[in-house]
Structure 1
Amino acid sequence: MVNLQNLSNLLNYDNEIGTLQKPPKLLNVNDYSNWKARFEHYISYTDSSLLIPILEGYKHPTYTYLDDVVPKPISKLDEEEKKVYDREKKAHGSITMALTRELFHSFRGYDNLKDLSKALQKRFEGNSDIKKSKRDLMRKLYECFRYLENESTDELISRFYHLQTELKLLS
């Protein structure tokens, strides 16, 4: 018989790290930097070509019509342009599928990957002032780091390495 607690734990784990068929979910907005790293690993593993529009952005092909530059209709894209367009749409879809319903609603208006990525980064990592404040807070936590009552050695070490990692990410 299936243990419901084990099944629930497995589903939560699948949501956190993703599977071959679905990306990891952004479950906790305070864990954005870890999610972002897991998401990039997921994309690298499933289809590394999807990293191109994530890292470099996408510019839809245009053509000149009556002295105006207009977007090229999808039906008029050549094979290479269609591949690039498909990568953009797959990467965009992967990120939107990784968002919870509440987060998806907040970012629904972003139709291209670059704008969506920038909006996520701005909201969850903040601007340079917020990043500086986070860095300062992490430094203070590092300087005040000490053993907590009833904490095991493994928990202490894990907390210490977590703090070091957070400091490196913010530097």
Structure 2
Amino acid sequence: MGTANKPPKLLRREDYPLWADKFETYVQALNYETWTAVEEEKVLFLKEKKMLNLFQQAIKSEIFQLLQHNGSCYSIWHTLVNKDRGNPDMRKSKIALLKKEFDIFTQVKGESFAQLIERYCYLVNEMKRLKIDKPVYEYIDKLADALPEEWGTFIMIQQSNPITYARLNLASFIEKLEAHDLELR
């Protein structure tokens, strides 16, 4: 039963349901803050398990097994982030490769306009992900230079108004290119 000084004792496993109610009441009456800490731990535990379940569903099992983590969601997340970033030497190599790829970017023979734009956007996103910053005009000029010769007149017309051209962002420039591509078809 328990007393004011002693909590109720669980003497047999089958008595658990009755004991749990008495124990909860005892702890809540004695020190409610202690009980809320238990409840908060329960909530955190449930959140952890839900997140772990989401990770297991979202990450291919072969990849998940290769991650070096301690089983906590925090550990899994930071392992993924660190895998993506790589070690400093690897990051340095990736950055150098992306910069070189940007510098030599051009249309590949047989590549459609849509494929060119997709490949370019992927390159720019990778550069931004690795925090390679360039002024907007460099992104626009590089894309303009990568277009085939038949786009020369269109690009010259765009550049003929330096104020409007200078205010373009990459997304609006790509929209203009896509509109012109539709006209060409």
Q: Which has the larger radius of gyration?
A: 2
So what's the TM-score if we normalise by structure 2? 0.46
So what's the TM-score if we normalise by structure 1? 0.49
The structure with the greater share of residues assigned to helix is 2
Greater RCO structure (CA 8 Å; 6+ sep) = 1
